[in-house]
Every structure is written in structure tokens, then in C-alpha cells.
Amino acid sequence: QVQLAESGGGSVQAGGSLRLSCAVFGHSYSPYYMGWFRQAPGKEREAVVIISNGGRLMYADSVKGRFTLSEDNAKNTLYLQMNSLKPEDTAMYYCAADFRPAIGTRWLPTEFAIWGQGTQVTVSS
């Protein structure tokens, strides 16, 4: 059974940085799609960044230039470096993956079958 394990959340002041990690367990090959989503209280879950196994990256406009996705294939781990954090970045951050091929890309939460438990990011002003 595939599992995703997130870590790295925490509390920082505005302008600070955090790095989230997502390790994939229980599968012999990489997902077709992986990414990070976030959900703030009272809001819908939204995509932050998605990567396909072909290397195509898509960032939400709200994080472009501040967040950077990277991966360590040897460790089956995805990282999200978050710089210049803002109070509006406060949310529960979730790692997601999907092993089904698709035409085009995936962006909506409903298009991802496997989820981590989430890690809280809190940015104070």
C-alpha cells in the first residue's frame, strides 16, 4: 500500500522560510503526478505546485517566485522550499500523488488518489 509521509511544517514569522518533505513508501516506481496542496480554515483545498513524471512543473500564481519544488528520486522524496512566507500562506499542507497516467496534467484535488496526513504551516505577521 502506497503511503506518503510529510514533515517540515511549523510556525514562522512573515518573510521566513520553511522546507516541507514528502516521502513515498510502498511503490516500486515513481508516481505519474505528485504535488503539494494546501487548505486554510474555511477554504477549499487548492494546488500549490504539481510535477509530472516528465518533469513538467506547474505553480500556483500566488507562490511563483517564492516556492520551489525539488525531488530526490533516490530517496523517493519530494521537497517544497518555501521562502518569503506570508500570513496568507498559513494552511495545512498536503502531499498528493497519483499513479495513473493521464492526458495533460492534473491540478484538482479530486484528480489525486493518494494523500499524506498533512503538515501545518503557520505564518505570523
Task: Give the separation between CA 106 and CA 101, rounded to whole angstroms.
Answer: 10
* pLDDT tens-digit map of 12-37: 999 999 999 999 988 777 788 999 99
Give the C-alpha separation, 20 to 24, whole Å.
Answer: 13
pLDDT, one tens digit per residue, over 56-103 is: 899 999 999 999 999 888 888 999 999 999 999 999 999 999 988 887
* Torsional sign, CA 79, 80, 83, 89: negative
Rounded distance between C-alpha atoms, residue 20 and residue 82, angstroms: 8
How much is the average pLDDT of 97-119?
91
